Chain A
Amino acid sequence: MASVPAQPFDNTGEDPTARSPLILNHTDFGSVTNDILKGNESAKPPKSWYFALAVSFTMMSMLGAMIGYLIFTGVGVWGNNNPVAWGYPIVNFVFWVGIGHAGTLISAILFLFRQKWRTAINRFAEAMTIFAVICAGTFPGIHIGRVWLAYWLFPIPNQMDMWPQFRSPLLWDVFAVGTYFTVSLLFWYLGMVPDLATMRDRSTTKVKQLAYGIASLGWRGSMRHWHRYERAYLLLAALATPLVLSVHSVVSFDFAVSQLPGWHTTIFPPYFVAGAIFSGFAMVMTLAIPARQLWGLKDFITMRHLDNMCKIVLFTGSIVGYAYSMEFFIAWYSGEIYESFAFINRAFGPYGWAYWIMVSCNVITPQIFWFKKARTNIAIIFTASLLVNVGMWFERFVIVVTSLANDFLPSSWGMYEPTWVDVMTFLGSFGLFMTFFLLFIRFLPVLAIAELKAIMPIADPHGQGHSYEEMSMETDEQAKIAEEDE
């Protein structure tokens, strides 16, 4: 890892006549495989990995302990009260589901748009999605109170002849998040099969050969298999694209379908989706920056990738800023006193501090990415991405808590304060997330090796003069005509 040279080559240029390389310092396939799998195949991971795993595992155990305490004692250990019945668990649920969205955006939407740079970040962004959805799913699961009756969420025939209420947005959530998790997992796994086969074929110990051998399903790189595989991958991308937009829309329905001032707005679905992608990209950068450093992946996750991600953060952050101002405008323009009050109360009421943390982190911070100097400075990117994560958590806090705490009748107002159990459960969920992530980067292919090879200039079977773009512009019809001519 120490031998990786400092990058003298700047591939963040915008010159349209010269295509910037997406993989630096590698001109053959073998060295790509070697360098990506270096972190997995080294006898021992770096010390910092052990340290991070120890910390994460401790935090995850804390989550387990907190959930145990909750179940044995009851939801009274939380700060949830009447009127704020949702509190931390739902704030955390929305936060984690949102984080997941960037992974699917990268793997599906950028794939459909033929953004080739996605191949360097899609694998671990998808992994992030799955682990984030696991964290997200934990919170409503424990928020229901009687955890042992969680199966009532699902349409399972039972002796009481009792079925879920399909007209409730909370049940739509069960289906949306359940589908999202399943499809993300399948997409991630299917993408990983060829790379698991690569790891199997390079394994030196019996245990690894067996484990990767089973996981790779006997993949042998057959082009007849690749043909169907590529079709399946395209179909999954096409399915995951509307799915990811639907998931956070459905999450926003939990709020928008109610009649509470501050929740009952039509702007919620697009606003939630943009916010989700915004927070998710921030989390991708938070993870990518240390991972590329530690695992020696700077040739694959280059400054250009970070630069591109910063632009997406800037774009989605601006949408979120627009949504904040539009909410205010509509609250005033509607002439609805409860609606107007809800928003003035958000900004200047008892939770005003949370509102202004949200605005400064989500609206002001990303504006720094207008400057290329900021988009190519690791320290600034990392700090900004952390701030965005903080800001997006506060956004959910503001939405959930302020609307519930002060609604219509002042006599039924209340204040919400989290307890230590709330805070430690939330921190524990980061432990769960990071533990999974650290195990993933050690034991599974952290980048999409096969996909990265396919975007190298030497991968083109028609020589280097014939670019990939021209090839893909060729339609099936043209190919057929060409075949018939022969």
Chain B
Amino acid sequence: MNEVTSTNVAREDLYGLAAEFKTTPGIYHAAEKVHAAGFKWFDCHVPFPVHGLDRAMGVKMTILPILVFFGGMAGLLAACTLQIFTNSLEFDIWALVPLVGYQFEVSGKPLLGAAAFVPVAFEMTVLFSALTAVFGTLFLNKLPMFYHPILKHPALTRATDDRFFLVIEARDPKFSRDEVESFLHSLDPETVIALEK
């Protein structure tokens, strides 16, 4: 892989410009300034969630909790339907289609034993919520994504180790290469790197 410097990436190949920081206050204050300058297509690549950085960047609260709520409700509904249908249902649709579950009669217990259905209903609620939380995060984060300009540049591998990168993308309407480059330099980074698409 070739070392890409600020000068040798062609204009049409430019993904964005990255500024490298050594400390968390460095990236935090830089992100505040980039947000204040009105950039929309920018991101920070950090080895751990820096506390409050998402707010400094102006990231809106994710809709994930709402998705998880509906996931959990779907689980609850599925569990109740499953149990009632398989164990206690006896129902005809217009006296034509009989729907009959597998009706166990065990020691005189009621077929529709609501209390007995609670544990499975609870477990299924938790299961569906957890699945929604994990797959919802991956979906909203557009992961897995095995090719990305950030993953391509060797210097940015330290974003998962000990360095903090702020990347302004070329597709931002306010992006102009020279201006952004000097703006990033004004944030006092270690280096500024041009990223190839």
Contacts and interface: CB of A to CB of B under 8 A. Distances in A.
Contact of A459 (B48, B54, B120): B48
Contacts of B77: none
B168 interface: no
Place the interface of chain B in its size category: 35 or more
A223 B43 contact: yes
B145 A218 contact: yes
A483 interface: yes
Interface stretch (B146-154, B171-179, B183-191): B146-154
B92 interface: no
A231 B47 CA distance: 17
Interface string A157-170: 00001111111010
Interface in A179-200: 179, 182-183, 186-187, 189-190, 194, 197-198, 200
A471 B130 contact: no
Nearest to B36: A486
A92 B52 CA distance: 46
Contacts of A461: 24-25, 27-28, 50-53, 56
Contacts of A182: 127, 130-131
A459 B50 contact: yes
Nearest to B59: A227
A232 B133 contact: yes
B70 interface: no
Interface in A219-243: 219-232, 235-236, 239-240, 242-243
A217 B144 contact: yes
B130 A223 contact: no
A453 interface: yes
Given A167-B109, A231-B65, A450 B129 contact: no
A172 interface: yes
Interface of B: 23-25, 27-28, 31, 43-57, 59, 62, 64-65, 68, 82-83, 86-87, 101-102, 104, 106, 109, 113, 116-117, 119-120, 122-124, 126-127, 129-131, 133-134, 136-138, 140-141, 143-148, 150-151, 156-162
Please provide the 6 A-B residue pairs with the shortest distance between their CB atoms, ordered closest to farther. Answer: A461-B28, A163-B86, A29-B162, A217-B144, A201-B157, A30-B162
